[in-house]
Amino acid sequence: MPERLRVGLLLAGYMPDEVARDNGTYPELFTAMLEPFGIDLLTYDLQNDGAPTDLDGADRHDGWVISGSANSAYEDAQWIRDLEDLCRRLLDRKVPLVGICFGHQVLAQAAGGQVQRADVGWGIGVHDYHLTGPRPGWVSEPAPDPVRVVASHQDQVVEVPDGAEVFLTSEFCPNAGLVYGTNAFSVQPHPEFTTGVSAGLLALRRDRIGAELTDEAATTLSHELDSPAVAAWIAAFLHGRTGL
């Protein structure tokens, strides 16, 4: 049994109360995903408490995970700028870092990439993703193909930063997974989301998204998710088995 890790969850957003009531908050969802792999999470509420600063003292962790958010990475908000600064510090220090959805986008932006509202509109429901080169060592074999995970986003990484490579892609989201050498990677979809979370968000946002697209996305929720495989990738990466 590997040693338990102390990992910081950089909480960038909040699950709507209507959805969290039956499905869990972001910290609860991430804990359910990673705790079985020997990972203990400590949550940092970025919007209310700010980004951690003492990376050599009380805020020292074995790794970090950035959550999703209803906010956009390109918004002019101080907490987002502070998070970008933290991402660059962690990249420089080669501290293990994982970004999910908004976390995927803000990490790319911090490293010099570009994020914008996607011309293709909302990505919702269960999407099919495909692994491409490079295939990092923490991706267990045989890997599922396609990799089916819940998506929930309007923004996308449209320009990959220098030094990062695409390892996960889809027709809807070409830059769906990025790897930054041996110390960081990120994915656009939500491996912590269940189909119950997705169904709740679809119902809550039906008027905003539109009935036709919402109903189409709802039909995908019967697909079996490959989220456990992606969770295992995250755990293997955080435990240091990068294989690169």
Contact (CB, 8 A) for 227 and 212: no
Binned at pLDDT 50, 70 and 90, residue 195 comes out as very high
Q: Which domains does the chain have, with CATH numbers?
A: 5-238 (3.40.50.880)
Q: Which of 61, 104, 153, 190 is flagged as catalytic?
A: 190
Q: What is the mean pLDDT of residues 156-183?
A: 96
Binned at pLDDT 50, 70 and 90, residue 244 comes out as very low
Taking alpha carbons only, the member of 239, 242, 226 closest to residue 142 is 226
For the whole prediction, is pTM greater than 0.85?
A: yes
192 is catalytic: yes
Contact (CB, 8 A) for 109 and 73: yes
| pLDDT(5) > 70 | yes
Q: Which of 87, 127, 192, 239 is flagged as catalytic?
A: 192
101 is catalytic: yes
How does pLDDT run across 107-160, given as a tens digit for each residue?
Answer: 999 999 999 999 999 999 999 999 997 688 899 888 999 999 999 999 999 999
Contact (CB, 8 A) for 204 and 165: no
| Token pair 């909302």: residue | 122
What's the one-letter identity of residue 15? M
Which whole-number Å values give the CA distances from 172 to 153, 181, 190, in the listed order? 11, 25, 15
42 token code pair:
């400590």
Q: Which of 61, 101, 153, 239 is flagged as catalytic?
A: 101
d(CA 130, CA 83): 29
| pLDDT(226) > 60 | yes
Contact (CB, 8 A) for 72 and 19: no
What's the one-letter identity of residue 182? T
